[in-house]
Amino acid sequence: DLATGKLTLPLMLLLEKLPPAERAELADSLREGRPLGLAAKVERMRELGIADGVIAAIDRELAQAAAALAPFAALTPTPLMLALGGVLQGQVAALRNR
């Protein structure tokens, strides 16, 4: 995300949590396609707990997906989709433990 300047969830959360001056600097860099100073931004993401925010968002989305699929439990694809959600939950759990 930082290397390519793509506006993804971690980068959006970083923009939300940065103080105004840092936010403006990062937004200008993204708009103008300037290098972001990758190492410094990754460290700043750690300081601000961005990974925790991403994990929480994924957990919320997975819970919403499971609830939305519940009425369709008898349909053949539903258990497969729920299993896929379980795989993603496992990956998120691994991130949480890093």
Dihedral sign for Cα 30, 36, 42, 47, please. negative
Instruction: Check pLDDT > 70 for residue 1.
Output: no
Three-state SS across the chain? CCCCCCCCHHHHHHHHHCCHHHHHHHHHHHHHCCCCCHHHHHHHHHHHCHHHHHHHHHHHHHHHHHHHHHHHCCCCHHHHHHHHHHHHHHHHHHHHCC
Give 8-48 pLDDT, tens digit per residue: 888 889 999 999 999 999 889 888 888 777 778 888 889 99
Residue 96: predicted pLDDT:
74
Residue 93: predicted pLDDT:
84
Give 52-69 pLDDT, tens digit per residue: 998 999 999 999 999 999
